[in-house]
Structure 1
């Protein structure tokens, strides 16, 4: 599935007289003036940051500062998948830990302002590597180092004690995996526009294979290379996009990260395109799946027993996410470019999910 690159210029610059879709600058400016007097200096401008396929992200600026604004997508969505309060609370709780996160600035649950709740955070300088041509110029050694730091950052997150950072009641770890199976089946049903062979079979096999016990910790929900801003020193400057964060089995984060990589590898093998346009995880030097798993085990202290179930569930989850994006695109509820191929790899993901269940017993 092709995706638009993340750039700050793609939405165009807006003023109080011309706001980007989903971000009314007049209303936002009035709210900030009332709730945070003196925060804004001069006129506000904004641009849509494209690349993500879920929540909408904008760069907001006045005459001296820049921030990032996040709000849910347009149209009807699953509230649990686009919870701004959840994102804000998680990132705020992780400030002060060794997991790099942006500083949270403001949260608003008054839907009269933008039509949905939203939050504002500091803008972090960093690169969200997505395509091979963005990372290949760094060379194999730096690419390898970046992928190592990505895995180490995930392990750092999974070592955080939720209770020590005020997140003891943030989610319900008990029964997490079973609820995830049902949740993504609900998402697929709610996004129905076509028959998806294998979806019911994968769902049934996942239901039958849910582990009676699983690990517990903080789950990012969509951990991958382009959801981590890499600094000029090739170290993670900030982990972003916490919209699906919760407490549950952290191994699902690892499984989803590997599923993105598996999908990219299969798609690259099927298409006759320039290797530079492949996913960044296919760049020379990037850690292999086996290396990632071994490093994660060493850094996190977590064993990967029964990991085939997590991989199968990750495929099912990503299929649900992708089909939801496709549904919103068909119903003209998306903003920006790059949605034309949304959902194109859902059949592949369902195939990969059925195969993954046979692995790592």
Structure 2
């Protein structure tokens, strides 16, 4: 019998346990012991850990309830990971994708669970030296460079997006995502600063950019470091926003979640760790320098890309807050966006005016 880690009613909305087991038996073979656990660290698509006798797998599916259009495309995520299996990009091993929503109530996919550590709130003790901290930053940048170096035509992703005009569309898209969230959240409080930020972004969109595969959510806590030392990046997760577009949007996003010693306290501390300010970790400038060396691409229009990253995070936060208000998530992070989004908007305006660098 499938056992569940808790009796949370939200988990019941995420998976029909019996149907999932029957489906996976056809793929993985029968198992004597099966358990399903909801991973509560993710804040977008849902992650379920499945123990299948002595093997471990991950099921990825959208959250329960209504979502903004195209925000949670798990099969798109699967396609990217599957296409990258034989490349230099470190990704988990894929198992199967399922379009039949009758199985667990949505589309989903299955991949092998990787062993190691995700650096979210702190560093593992084995990495707590200046040398290893430096290596963490290097590995993070080098893996991003590997994504942007993929021959996307050769791996079958040539039709995966429209890279021309990507950055301008990003500004428009996230403005639309905010408008969707505001339909509900503005009844609780308003965030007028975000309109000014959106206007500034539209006025400063770069006229051209490189065309590469982009991850869309690349940051330290979306990668896994393998067991042991020195730090070795073993897998990149959360590809739901991957497409063909502007690689510097990935770099700007990564920098938003990196903390320099001189930075203000983060607006969303649950999402933005500060341990990277410790001795040995590279600064943002050093990360940028390594990226430029690894790719040969200059990080032009840096302020634009860092403001865009913060604007997107505000958009995600507001979407989270709407889902909380509508009762479509049990995530304890979501109600904190009531204050977190306005604070991030204030910090972003200061970034535009040159008062901080986030």
Given the alignment, which residue of 64, 68, 86 partners 1:78?
A: 68
> Which residue in 2 is equivalent to 1:304?
299
Distance 1:328 1:287, change over 3 A: same
> Which residue in 2 is equivalent to 1:214?
209
1:32 aligns with 2:24: yes
Distance 1:249 1:358, change over 3 A: farther
Deviation at 1:147, TM superposition (A): 1.3
> Which residue in 2 is equivalent to 1:268?
265
Contact 1:220/1:246 (8 A) holds in 2: yes
Distance 1:81 1:326, change over 3 A: same
Mapped partners of 2:289, 2:349: distance in 1? 23
Contact 1:43/1:63 (8 A) holds in 2: yes
Distance 1:137 1:161, change over 3 A: closer
Distance 1:29 1:136, change over 3 A: closer
Larger relative contact order (Cα-Cα within 8 Å, sequence gap ≥ 6): 1
Mapped partners of 1:278, 1:220: distance in 2? 20
Deviation at 1:175, TM superposition (A): 1.0
Structural RMSD (CA): 2.6
1:91 aligns with 2:88: no
Mapped partners of 1:341, 1:19: distance in 2? 21
Aligned length: 341
Mapped partners of 2:134, 2:218: distance in 1? 18
Distance 1:102 1:238, change over 3 A: same
Structure 2-normalised TM-score?
A: 0.87
Deviation at 1:224, TM superposition (A): 0.8
Mapped partners of 1:183, 1:143: distance in 2? 36
> Which residue in 2 is equivalent to 1:249?
246
Given the alignment, which residue of 281, 300, 322 partners 1:286?
A: 281
Contact 1:25/1:45 (8 A) holds in 2: no
Mapped partners of 2:330, 2:349: distance in 1? 33
1:188-240 deviations in Å (ceiling 9; x for gaps): 11111131021111111111222221111011011111100001231111001
Structure 1 residue runs of 5 or longer lacking an equivalent are 1-10
Contact 1:149/1:235 (8 A) holds in 2: yes
Deviation at 1:138, TM superposition (A): 2.0
SS of structure 2 residue aligned to 1:110: coil
Given the alignment, which residue of 211, 214, 238 partners 2:235?
A: 238
Given the alignment, which residue of 198, 203, 212 partners 2:193?
A: 198
Mapped partners of 2:102, 2:276: distance in 1? 41
> Which residue in 1 is equivalent to 2:341?
346
Deviation at 1:131, TM superposition (A): 1.4
Instruction: Please identify, of 332-341 and 112-121, the stretch whose mean Cα deviation from structure 2 is larger.
Output: 332-341
Mapped partners of 1:164, 1:294: distance in 2? 29
Mapped partners of 2:294, 2:155: distance in 1? 21
Deviation at 1:25, TM superposition (A): 1.3
1:122 aligns with 2:122: no
1:152 aligns with 2:152: no
Mapped partners of 2:284, 2:316: distance in 1? 22
Structure 1-normalised TM-score?
A: 0.87
SS of structure 2 residue aligned to 1:69: strand
Contact 2:62/2:73 (8 A) holds in 1: yes
> Which residue in 1 is equivalent to 2:309?
314
Instruction: Please identify, of 259-268 and 237-246, the stretch whose mean Cα deviation from structure 2 is larger.
Output: 259-268
Deviation at 1:13, TM superposition (A): 6.0
Mapped partners of 1:230, 1:220: distance in 2? 18
